[in-house]
Every structure is written in structure tokens, then in C-alpha cells.
Amino acid sequence: MIETPQNVKSPHQPEIDRNVKISVRNLYKVFGDQPEAMIEFVRSGISKTELLEKYHHVLGLNDINIDMMDGEITVIMGLSGSGKSTLIRHLNRLIEPTAGEVILDGEDVLKLTETELREVRRKRMSMVFQKFALFPHRTVSENAALSLEVRGDDLGEQQSEAQYWLDRLGLSGFEDSYPYQLSGGMQQRVGIARALCAHSEVMLLDEAFSALDPIIRSQMQDLLLELQRELNKTIVFITHDLDEALKLADHLVILKDGYVIQQGEPQQILLHPSDPYIEQFVSDINRARVLRVRSVMKAYDGEVRPDAIMIDPDITLEQVIESVNGDTSKHFVVAQDDNPIGVLSMHEIMIAMVPRRASLDGLDP
Amino acid sequence: MATYTGFFDMLGLRDWCDSEKKPSLLSLRNLKGEELAWYEFPFPSLDNLHSACNAIPQTRDMTAGLETGFLTVRPALRTVLDPLTQPLSWALDGALTLFTTTPWWALVPIICFLCYRVSRSASVTVLVAVFMAFFLFTDHYTYAMQTLAIIFVCTFICVVLGVPMGILMSKSDTTQRVVTPILDMLQTLPTFVYLIPLIFLFKITEPKLYGMAIILYAIVPVVRLTNLGIRLVDQSVIEAAHAYGLDSRQRLLGVEIPLALPNIMAGVNQTIMMSLAMVVIASLVSAPGLGTLVLDGINNLRLGVGFVAGFAIVLLAILLDRVSKAALDRINSAEAKLK
């Protein structure tokens, strides 16, 4: 039996009934002088290149439909120019869409008045930015307390709340420093503290860790997962890094040229890429570290080899291989709460680690 | 006689030309007493055509028309502007009285103290004290204080009017498009030209006459740099302000103005220096202070008087520049680290 380390996320905890928190419906964004006039062309299927060459309008988002579940991390992944940053800015309307709906708890964000929108931004959605975007003329603690100050909470409350989150994020002692005195990783922790201080149900993270170096980035991802286990917020996370996306995502959305090419459970996308573009993407990653036993096991049919080793469904293949020191003759039984739910052999693990084309015959049901 | 007489005769317009009996004014050229050289072929300008054909208006008619036009609207303009600008006269009179009646042994320490508060620099404060001693010792003290009083009032008004104007400009591209050419004009118009319409509008003994001239001239940099400063604020910070629901007042006071402050202060420094430049010229229209000594030096060929007064103006300029720069540096060094 292998212990699940602290930093490994378990996406398959017993299913709680999740509600849709944010629902994006038929969202379009066209940049240019007359975006409304272009919508018809876009709906009739004009390509991004053609729209640019013929009409000099840039197609930002093309018919986006995503349901973001309450308490889940939805990761939106895409390369630069795929429209992911544009998309996240539609959720709190930093960018106005050309057409479509963004429904937060049953209410269309795009129909809110300016005052209502401000209330949503102050209380229900907070945001973390790639370039931190802290206020340079304010101390760390004043930055963290921004949303409380904007709401007009009293000063003592602001300070104690800011203090709590700064302590949680390991920034004790830096309350009176200015952002420029901190390293990039620490600045981004201030950015996260600022978002957490708002007590919003929804957190939007726009490439929040992209500007950080790999080790710090990995630490920040663990920190986010740890906080998420406790806080159960609805998190929308933008990234261009597939490893990061797979580590964090409960629901993964892959964008290309402004449209969604595939979305779903990350392990499923990894095992069943729907498009050559995604295949290309997933072929580069370390599958053993990402794939989990549950995703590759065969269903339990009552028969277990006597020498089978019991493993947890939510550990990665890498952990399985490590636990038997790479012995390829081993067989496993996958058990949850001591009930066997599946079987797996090292042979199957090996096949699962080869990207999709080769694994088609061996593993796909 | 005139080059173009034959031309009008040929066209058969002589009768029409002579129908105008109004006596001719001196042409611009004659006004300045210049003669036509033998090799010059006159361009068919208004003046030259007029000398051949009376019915064609002269260039002087145009300038005279402008004068008449201005004189016609003057009463209306005065009714509006006079009460509106009256507080400026009061402020200037008040400041002049305050600066000249406060005894030197009280005012000089106060000025030194204020300079220290603003600049937080001992060396700048010592410099101020030395310059003040020079003014006192050479009997230029009262004149220098008059100049200083005028600069204080005018700079203050420039900031009070200019900063909001710059903010408005930064918020709206249309406003910027409209205001920029006006600022360009104010900045390029020769300094003497400011005085001409103002002399017509106000009594020459009124302080607001030179006050207006100084403010119009010196307000430009503070408006420009406020606009620029706010437009240059890091857009990602502004975006964060939007994302956390700051309303426009919170954004302006909490983010934009604090981050634009170095630029705004650079504008204030420029405004102070331009007020000083104009206050000297404004001595032509009865602005008191060091400028009157320079004027006396020019009018009566008193080289020494003019020269020493000029030197005193330089000292005053250094003083104002150093103090405002020190204040600016203080803000900058606090702010530069924030970048």
C-alpha cells in the first residue's frame, strides 16, 4: 500500500453533487471596428485567417461553451494567442463579449449594471494576475486588504484579515514591506492573499504561476491545491503549461485559435486526445507522473491473482512503478476502502505510458 | 505709378476701383518706413493691389478689422471676465501685502523652514538661506519677495486648475484632442503676445492683468504632465483595480494620482520656472518685483541696476528649481523603487 503524498491531488474523492457555478454559453468575441457585423460571418464558419484578411477583424473567441463546477478547478489551457486570457477576462467582464452569456449562479454577468458588476467583482470574484499587478505604492498588507478596503470594512478588520492570509501564505514579517522588496514568488503569494482576502466563491487565476521559476512554480501549485482542499472555491486557472494543467485540473479545457478543441476530465483527454493538435501536446509529457491507476486499470471481474499487490486508485503510475522497484512481472489489484475495483499489470502500465497511437489496441476498451 | 494699374485698366475695372473713396491707410511696409528697391517686382499682395485699385482692401484693413472686432466684444468679455478674475487680483494683492509687510526676520526663517519641510534636504535649505542673505544685503529683498509672492499665487492657481484639467484630458481622448492644440498654442505664442489682448481687457493697474498672463503661460506643463502621468500608469495595475471593483473615484485617488505623482510634480516644477520667466516680462504691465528693476535698467540705460537685478532673478530661479526638484526627487526615490 502506497501512501498518497500530501502534494498529490486526488480528483476522485467520493462524488459530491456539484452544481454549475459558472456557465459560459455561446460566447463570441471579435476585435475590430464593427464586431457585431462580423458575428454572422463567424457563426457561418469563417476562419480566423479569412476574417482577418478579408474584414480586418480578429476573432478572439469562437462559440465557447463551458460549465465550471462549484468547488472544482477548471483549467483553461492553450498556447499564446489561443484566447485563454481573453476568455478569463470575460468572466468578470474586464472584456465585454460580442455575443453570448456568462452565467454566474443563474445570473447573466453580462446583463449586470455597472454597480452590480462592481459588487460581483468586490465580493464574488477575485483575480490573480500573471504579472502580479500589485499596487506598487502600497505595503504588502495594504495590497492584501484591497478588496476589504474597497468594500469599506473597518481598518482593524482589514488588517487582521490580511494578517491571517499573509501568515497562511508564509509572508509573516513582510506586512510592511513594499512589493518591490519581495521576490517574484513572494509577490505572487501577495497576489493570492489579496484574492483570498476577498472571500469570494470564485477565483480567477490568469497564468498566475507562469512568471515564476520551475521550483517556485511547483511549490505554488502545491500551495494552491492545499488551499483548495480546505476552501473549496471555484477556481478558473489559465495556463499554457500542460504539466501544470494536468496537475491542477478537475476539468480541463483546451483552447486553440479561440475555440474549444477538447474539454473534459484531464486523464481522459490524455488517454483519448480528440485532435492531432492535442496528441502533439500530450506526447511531450511524462505520462507516468500524470496518469493515475484509476484511469488505466481494467474493471474488476471477480478474479484476482494470488500474488497481486493492493494499490490505491488515485496514485500515479510512477508511484506504482517505484513501489515495486520497476519489477515488470508484478500484478496489482486496485482497491478503494479495501473493496477491489480493478486490476492492473505492469505490462498494462508500460503500454499506457506510450502515447495514444500505440496504446490504442492495447488499452482502449 | 503702381505696378498693377495697367492690369486693372486692361480688365476695364477702373470705374469699380475708383468707386471706393475711403482714404488709404499706410501700408504695412510704409508703416515701418521701408522703400521698394529698384530690382524688386512687387507680389500682387493686398497692399500692392490696393495701390493700383482703391476698391481692394489693404492688409491694414484686416488688422484694423480685428481691432474693431475685439473692441466690439470687449464690453461683453469684460462683464464676464472681470468678476470671474477678480479673486485673482485679491489673491495677488493679498500675497504681495503679506510678503512685503511681514518683517524679514520672521519671513526668511519661515521660508527656510518651509523649504526644509518640502525638500527634506539641509543643503538646499542652506542654499536658500544664503540667497536670502544676498537679497537682504543688496537691498533686493523686497523686490525678490514681490516676485516670489506672485509666483506662489500663480503656481498655486495653475496647479488647482491644471491638475483637474490634466485628469480630464487623460480620461477622454476627445478632450485630449481638443485641449492639446490649445496647449500647443499657449506654449508657442510669443510671451509678449499674451499681454496685448489682456491690456485691452483689463486696466493696466490691475494685478489680474499680469496674473492672467502668467497663468496662461505657466499652466501648460502641469496640464500636459498630469495627463501624461496618468496615461502612463501601468495598465496591469489599472486592470487589477477594475478586477477588484474599485469605482472611478477610488481608482483615481487610490491608484492613478499616487502613481502619476512624479510626473505631476515634474509639471509643477516646470510651471514654477515658467511663472518666473513670465513675471519678469509682466513687469511691462505693472507687475512689481525684480522685473521692474530690469525694465528700469533697459529704459534708463542703467547697466548695473539691470545686471544685478538679472542676477537676483537667476538666484531666485535656482532657489525655486532646487527646492521643487528636491521635493520631486524625494517622491521619485520613493516611487522609483516601486517600479
Residue in B242, B244, B339 to test binding to A, most A beta-carbons within 10 Å: B244
Q: Dihedrals φ, ψ of A169, to 5°?
A: -95, 15
Residue numbers of chain A with a pLDDT score lower than 70: 1-18, 356-365
- Mean pLDDT, residues B291-302 taken together: 92
The span from the CA of B107 to the CA of B82, in Å, is 32
Is B22 a residue whose pLDDT tops 80? no
For chain B, where are the alpha helices, taking DSSP H only? 5-10, 14-18, 28-31, 46-52, 59-101, 104-119, 122-137, 141-171, 173-188, 191-201, 207-231, 235-243, 248-251, 257-281, 290-299, 303-336
Distance CA(B205)–CA(B211), nearest Å, equals 12
The pLDDT-based confidence of B121 (bands split at 50, 70, 90) is confident
Q: For chain B, give the mean pLDDT.
A: 88
Cβ contacts of A146 on chain B, cutoff 8 Å: 244
For residue A177, give the chain B residue with the closest CA: B338
Burial of B37 (0-12, 13-18, 19+ CB in 10 A): exposed
The CA-atom distances, in angstroms, between B181 and each of A203, B163, B168, B177, B220 are: 46, 18, 15, 7, 11
Over residues B145-182, the pLDDT tens digits come to 999 999 999 999 999 999 999 999 999 999 999 999 99
| Cα of B333 to nearest chain A Cα, Å | 12
Q: Using the Cα atoms of residue B98, residue B101, residue B106 and residue B112 in order, give the sign of their dihedral.
A: positive
Per-residue pLDDT of B42-54, as tens digits, reads: 788 888 888 888 8
Q: Is A129 on the interface with B (CB under 8 A)?
A: yes
Contacts of B242 in chain A (CB under 8 A): 94, 121
The 3-state DSSP class for residue A26 equals strand
DSSP readout, B315-327?
HHHHHHHHHHHHH
Put simply, the answer to whether A180 touches B258 (Cβ < 8 Å) is: no
Give all domains of chain B, ordered by start, each with its CATH number: 2-56 (no CATH), 74-338 (1.10.3720.10)
Across the beta sheet with A251-256, what order do the strands follow?
Answer: A125-128, A202-206, A234-239, A73-77, A251-256, A259-264
Cell of B8: 486693372
Q: How far is CA B182 from CA A33, B150, B223, in A?
A: 29, 24, 11
Residues contacting residue B319 through CB under 8 Å, at least 6 positions apart:
B127, B128, B131
Helix (H, G, I), strand (E, B) or coil at B133: helix
B221, three cell numbers: 506643463
Cα gap B235→B247, rounded to integer Å: 16
A–B interface: beta-carbon pairs under 8 A: 65
pLDDT, residue B31, reads 74
How far apart CA A39 and CA A51 sit, in angstroms, is 10
- Whether A172 and chain B come into contact, CB under 8 Å, resolves to no
**Which range, of A249-258, B8-17, B78-87, B129-138, averages the lowest pLDDT?**
B8-17
B208 close to B202: Cβ distance less than 8 angstroms = yes
Alpha-carbon distance B226 to nearest alpha carbon in chain A (angstroms): 18
Q: Do B258 and A137 touch (CB under 8 A)?
A: yes
Burial of B68 (0-12, 13-18, 19+ CB in 10 A): exposed
pLDDT exceeds 90 at position B232:
yes
Contact at CB, A135 and B250, closer than 8 angstroms: no
Q: pLDDT tens, A261-301?
A: 889 988 888 888 888 888 887 887 888 888 888 888 888 88
Return the pLDDT at B2: 67
Query: Which residues, in sequence order, are CB contacts of B150 under 8 Å at separation 6+?
Result: B92, B95, B96, B210, B211, B214, B275, B279, B282, B287, B288, B289
Number of Cβ atoms within 10 Å of the Cβ of B220:
22
pLDDT at A192: 92
State the DSSP code for B26: P
Contact A147 B255 (CB under 8 A): no
In terms of CA atoms, which chain A residue is nearest residue B261?
Answer: A137
Percent of chain B clearing pLDDT 90 (strictly above): 58
CA distance B157 to B149: 13
Q: Name the packing angle between helices B257-281 and B290-299 (round to 10°).
A: 30
What is the mean pLDDT of the segment spanning B233-253?
92
Encoded amino acid at B265, one letter = M
Higher pLDDT, B33 or B159: B159
Q: What's the pLDDT score for residue B239?
A: 93
Looking at the partner chain, which of A118, A122, A131 has a beta carbon nearest the beta carbon of B236? A131
Cross-chain residue pair A137–B338, CB shorter than 8 Å: yes
Report yes or no for ipTM above 0.90: no
What is the Rg, in whole angstroms, of the alpha carbon atoms belonging to chain A? 23
- Is residue A198 less than 8 Å (CB to CB) from chain B? yes
Phi, psi of A22 (to 5 degrees): -125, 130
**Helices H / strands E in chain A, number of each:** 17, 14
Instruction: Please say if the pLDDT value at position B335 is more than 80.
Output: no
Residue among A331, A283, A280, A328 nearest A305 (CA): A331
**Among A219-223, B55-59, B104-108, B160-164, the least confident range:** B55-59
In terms of DSSP bridges, do strands A259-264 and A73-77 run parallel, antiparallel, or are they unpaired? unpaired
Cβ-Cβ contacts under 8 Å for B329 (sequence gap 6 or more): none
Nearest residue to A176 via CA among A189, A165, A164, A163: A163
